Structure 1
Amino acid sequence: MEQDCLIHPSAIVHPQAQLDSTVRVGPYAVVGPKLRIGAQTTVGPHCVLEGDTEIGCHNQIFQFASLGAQPQDKKYAGEPTQLIIGDRNTIREFCTFNTGTVQDGGVTRIGNDNWIMAYVHIAHDCVVGHNTILANNATLAGHVHVGDWVILGGLTGVHQFTRIGAHAMAGFASHISQDVPPFMMVDGNPLAVRGFNIEGLRRRGFGEQRLRAVKQMHRLLYRQGLTLEAARAAIAALAAELPEAAADVQAMLDFLAASQRGIAR
């Protein structure tokens, strides 16, 4: 551990922890021996950082967060598993992120530039992409995958092993127990697909051809009464019709092919 870290005298930082010299650690925080924390990251008062945990650069971790605790899984028997957090994330008060389990890849992983609000729980073996927004009390059960640019409304619960595709959006207090395809907007309990995330896509620079492709994919999946196999075949044909959207079409096809829980329909 660098001796010139900006550590409050009341904080308890294990001498084996590896902190960049620019890391700030607030009053009464506890940092365990297997922590690696990158440059310009701030750890707020009363945080507990433990386990085999790697935290990147320029993260802001607010007071009372608990990161790297062992998974809440009865099968866990002390195996070495990890939590890996990327760069430039905002992690608000009382968040709880657990390490992974050997029943999966052994790693819980959070990407870059995520805005994670108070009381969010990210359970073992979850994978969260980049540029997401998880509002207050959003809860991810084990093995959940959340794609880039996803927005989850407050009090949303996500069932274990569920996948949420890139650019999807879930409204307040949604109950997500089936996979949510990319670009879609969902809410409710039971969950319903309400449309596609057109405003979010426009803000991210989607042009008219890409928006047209997403609109057509929504229609094929949800408005024309097609079977899933028929919808997939029709979606595949869009790549030739709308070449600027070929990558978006492929992302949808890949997501549908990988779905194991079935998609919300």
Structure 2
Amino acid sequence: MKNTFVHTNASLGVNITLGNFTTIEDDVVIGDNTCIGNNVTILSGTRIGANCQIHSNSILGGIPQDLKYRNEYTLLEIGNDNIIREFVTINKGTISKMKTLIGNSNLIMSNAHIGHDCIIGNNCVIGFSVGMAGEVEVGDWSNISGLTAVHQFSIIGEHTMISGLSRVVKDVPPYIMAANDPLQYLGLNLVGLKRRGFNSKKLEEIKAIYRILFQEKRNTKFAVQLIENEFEQTIERDKVLDFVRQSKRGIIKGYRE
């Protein structure tokens, strides 16, 4: 380890690998069996779980790029089994949520940026050079393809697939594939859902729900009522309905006319 600096107040687990020219500041906690590459900077207030891979030139726990930040004590919390590739930057939180949170078993590809107070679930793929502004939420098993820009406060539901070069300025409901500009519903994320055990009956149910949601000519509120009345209560139905009802930015568009 050449010119590597680890602050005496940092807490490192067992079997930690550190690359050359890496800096670990005080008030950092790193779990067992985590591998950290060359020229990585891990700043105060960062918590990293076990069995993670942090590749070269990443910067974790940087000061939020947000004018409301006033040096309050906030955190970046990263779970277990994450792979963070080269040149990734992840900022810690602000007074809004007090932390940025990355779950478990995520792949964050090179040059991606995750802003302050974001919440990333588990088993997500954040593609090459994805730019994610502050306070974005991403559900479990989501896949955001390369060079996508995500507007602040946007919510991306679980099991979604967003195509590369997309611009996310509205909320993206769960289970779907989205593409085009403006971003729109293109159908279910069939490949991902089948991989995770959704059977044909369940896929048809979700597809029928979205057919009403995105093709109902009156308004979204009426479509939600129609779905609630016509479909028996299931986990998937309720997740879609709850997502739409709770959306503050509004959801993406459906089929183009």
TM superposition score category, shorter chain reference: over 0.9
1:121-200 alignment runs, 5 A limit: 121-200=113-192
Alpha-carbon distance, 1:126 to partner: 0.2
For 1:177 and 1:201, locate their aligned partners in 2 and report how far apart those are by CA, in whole Å.
24
Alpha-carbon distance, 1:226 to partner: 4.4
Determine which of 62, 70, 81 is the counterpart of 1:69.
62
3-state SS of paired residue (1:209): helix
Q: CA RMSD in A?
A: 1.2
Counterpart for residue 237 of structure 2? 249
Determine which of 220, 225, 236 is the counterpart of 1:233.
225
Aligned AA for 1:174? S
Alpha-carbon distance, 1:178 to partner: 0.3
User: CA distance change for structure 1 residues 22 and 216 in 2, over 3 Å: closer, same or farther?
Assistant: same
Counterpart for residue 198 of structure 2? 206
Counterpart for residue 37 of structure 2? 44
Determine which of 115, 126, 148 is the counterpart of 2:107.
115
Counterpart for residue 214 of structure 2? 222
1:16-27 alignment runs, 5 A limit: 16-27=9-20
Paired residues, number: 253
For 1:51 and 1:74, locate their aligned partners in 2 and report how far apart those are by CA, in whole Å.
19
Return 5+ residue gaps in structure 2 as ranges. Answer: none
Determine which of 85, 92, 105 is the counterpart of 1:92.
85
For 2:230 and 2:41, locate their aligned partners in 1 and report how far apart those are by CA, in whole Å.
49
Q: Does 1:81 align with 2:80?
A: no
1:30-41 alignment runs, 5 A limit: 30-41=23-34
- Identical pairs, percent: 38
Alpha-carbon distance, 1:9 to partner: 4.5
Alpha-carbon distance, 1:237 to partner: 3.6
**Contact 1:86–1:111 (CA under 8 A) maintained in structure 2:** yes
3-state SS of paired residue (2:134): coil
Alpha-carbon distance, 1:239 to partner: 4.8
Return 5+ residue gaps in structure 1 as ranges. Answer: 1-7
Alpha-carbon distance, 1:260 to partner: 0.3
Alpha-carbon distance, 1:149 to partner: 0.7
For 1:226 and 1:38, locate their aligned partners in 2 and report how far apart those are by CA, in whole Å.
52
Aligned AA for 1:259? S
Counterpart for residue 4 of structure 1? none
For 1:24 and 1:237, locate their aligned partners in 2 and report how far apart those are by CA, in whole Å.
56
For 1:212 and 1:145, locate their aligned partners in 2 and report how far apart those are by CA, in whole Å.
27
**Contact 1:131–1:148 (CA under 8 A) maintained in structure 2:** yes
**More displaced, 162-171 or 203-212?**
203-212
TM-score between the two structures when normalised by the length of structure 1: 0.92
3-state SS of paired residue (2:15): coil
For 1:261 and 1:201, locate their aligned partners in 2 and report how far apart those are by CA, in whole Å.
26
Alpha-carbon distance, 1:137 to partner: 0.4
Aligned AA for 2:159? H
3-state SS of paired residue (1:166): coil
